[in-house]
Amino acid sequence: MERVNSGQFRQLLELKKKHKITFQKECEIHTEKILACLHNLKNHPKNVTEIQTILESADIIIGAAKFLENKKLEEQAKFIVSSFLGIDDIRKKINEFYQILNYFKNLKKLDF
């Protein structure tokens, strides 16, 4: 195995820091998407496009949360996926819908 010198180590740390910032921004963008979709689903509970956007954004957040080692965020995103996967009408999961909505409503700036 090749040894890493101090210059290379600093470069690796800087790269990790840049990746962390990128993943944080990505999580924030997808959190906003989820929040917007949840609000839209209040009035249009059968909008499959909104549900699909929620699933896609939650999947991206899961990956980013793993990289950021943020278990709580990862668990919340997995909860979203399990709640919305395979449904075509949000009214079927209204209680879970409100739990998710409240969580994301309070999530303005992610804590990493």
pLDDT (tens digit, 9 = 90+) per residue, 47-89? 999 999 999 999 999 998 888 888 988 888 898 899 888 888 7
Look at residue 41 in the predicted model and tell me its pLDDT.
87
Which tops the pLDDT comparison, 92 or 77? 77
Look at residue 106 in the predicted model and tell me its pLDDT.
65
State the helix-helix crossing angle for 94-105 and 6-43, rounded to 10 degrees. Answer: 130
Q: What is the pTM of this model?
A: 0.75
Written as six digits, the tokens of 48 are 């499959």
Written as six digits, the tokens of 93 are 């999961």
Alpha helices by DSSP H, listed for 44-70, are: 48-68
Cβ-Cβ contacts under 8 Å for 23 (sequence gap 6 or more): 64, 67, 68
**What number of H helices and E strands is found in the chain?**
4, 0
Mean pLDDT for all residues in the chain = 83
